[in-house]
Amino acid sequence: MPEITDESEPLVSTEWERDIPGPIWSWWLAGAKPDGAGLRRWQLWVWWERQRGAQKRLFAAVRFLRGFIEAPLEAWGGVRRFGHKTKNVHGVSRSTQFRQLLMLRWQFGVRPNSYYKFQLFKPERFSAAADYLEEIGQLLQVVCRHSPRTADERLFLSKEEFRRWCTANGIPTVENLIEVNRGEVVSRLTEQLPASDLFAKPTNWIQGKGTSRWQCVPSAHGHHYTDGSGLELSTTEFEDFICRTSLEQGRPYIVQPALMNHETLRGYTNGSLATVRLMTVRGSGQSSKPLMAALRMPTGQAVADNFDLGGVAAPIDLNTGTCRPGIRKKGQLPPDTVNTHPDTGSVIAGLAIPYWSECLALTCRAHDLIHAQVPVIGWDVAVLENGPILIEPNYLPCHNLAQMPEGFPLGDSPFAEIVTMRLRKVFLTRSDSVNNEKADGGLQS
C-alpha cells in the first residue's frame, strides 16, 4: 500500500515527534533491555524530550527529584487509603506495604496507585514489579508517529472507515444501518430502520462514551424505541434524535443493530453485549500473534462493557479459551475478585469461550492485513451464535485491562521485545548514522 503524502489527519499528532537522542541519552538507551525496566528508560526519555527550553527542563528535573524525596509521604498516603482493605483481605501488614512501596518507588518509580491496582503486594507479583507498566500509550504513539503513514491507518480513527475496510477484506463485522454527520443522515443501509433493538454510538469517541442501546417495543401503530429512561421515539423521531445529538456534540454517529451474544455467554451480561478484548502483537516483517485476552462483561445499567465503566473483566487462557475469576476496576483498591456475574449469578471461572480458535485466527489475520506499522492492537471481538465478528480495533489498548485481571506484566512479554526493537530501530540506528556522518564530516574538514 502506498504511503500517504497528503495533509489528511494523521494517526498520531506532532506532539509525539522526538528528535534523535544525543550521545548521553543514546548511550543510556542502548543499555535498555527489552523488559519493563528498559521500557521505563524509554518512557523517561520521551517525557524529558517533551520539556522544551532550559527553564522547563529545570522545573521538570526538580519535580522528578522531588518525587523521590517525597516518597515516604506518598507511601504513607497510599497505606492510609488502601492499607486497611489490603491487610484484611490479603493479610499483608501495613508496615510491609509501606516498606514495599518505598522500595518500589525508589528502585523503579512505581507509585502507590500502581502498587495497589496491580496488587504488587502479592509475592509472585512483587518479584516482577518492574515489568508492570503504566502509560504504554506514550511509547506506542512515538512509535506510530515515526512510522510511514499508510492509507489504512484511518481505520483506527473512524468506526465507519473500519467497517469499510472489513467489508473490503472479507472480515466479519457489524453493519451500520445509518450514518449521521453534522446533524444529517449521510448514508443508510435500508429505507426504514428495522423493528429490532438498536445500538447508537459516535464513530470517533472511546471508552464507551456516547453509546446508547434502544429497545424496540411493538405498539398499535407499529413499533417505537425506548432507551429505558422513559423516552419513547418513533422511527422518525429516533433518527431526528440521533441527528440532534450528532450536531450538539460535533461528532459523527452510527446506528447499528443491537447484537446478541452466543447462548453460552448470555448468562454473563446484563442484556447488553459482552465482548472479548484480544490483544495481538506484530514485529517488523513478522506475522502477528495473540498476546492476552479478557472477557468484558457489562453490569448494572451500563449499555457497554467497558472496564472503565464498571464492567467485569475476566482473564482468558489463550491456549484453552477458558475464563478465570474476574475483577472490577471501579471501587476501592485493591480490586475485588469477582467469582460470579453481579446481575445473573453465573460462575465465571471455567467458562469456555465459544469459537475460541476462530477468535484467535480472526484477530491475527486482521492484524496481518493492516499495512500501518502498529505493533499492538486491542481487538474488541463479539462472539455470536454463528461465530466471532470484529467490533473495532484499538491501537492504544488499555494497559489496565491487559495487566489487572490476572497480573499479566507487559514488560515480561513479547510486547516489550517488539516495542523496544521498534524504538531502537527508529532512534538508535538513526543516531549511529547521524553520529557517523558528523564524524566523517569532521575528518573531511
Kind and range of the H or E run holding 364:
helix 356-369
Q: What is the CATH number of domain 152-169+261-411?
A: 3.30.470.20
Query: In 227-355, where does DSSP find H-type helix?
Result: 235-249
Please give the single-letter amino acid code of residue 317: D
pLDDT, tens digit, 9 for 90 and up, residues 215-259 = 999 887 789 999 878 888 999 999 999 999 999 988 999 999 999
pLDDT single digits (tens) 393-403: 999 999 999 99
CA angle 147, 148, 151 (to 5 degrees): 125
pTM of the model: 0.90
Extents of the domains making up the chain: 14-138+418-433, 152-169+261-411, 178-257
CB 216 within 8 A of CB 197: yes
Torsion of CA 412, 415, 416, 417, to 10 degrees: 110
Q: Mind listing the pLDDT tens digit for each residue in 172-226? A: 999 999 999 988 998 888 888 999 999 998 887 766 778 889 999 988 778 999 9
DSSP string, 64-90: HHHHHHTHHHHHHHHHHHHHHHHHHHH
Residue 276 — pLDDT band, cuts 50, 70, 90? very high
Are 181 and 166 in contact by the 8 Å Cβ rule? The answer is no
CA 200 to chain centroid, in Å, comes to: 21
How does DSSP classify residue 424? I
For the chain, the maximum distance between any two Cα atoms, rounded to a whole number of angstroms, is: 91
What is the distance between the alpha carbons of residues 384 and 439, in angstroms, rounded to a whole number? Answer: 61
Please say whether the beta carbons of 405 and 326 come within 8 A. Answer: yes
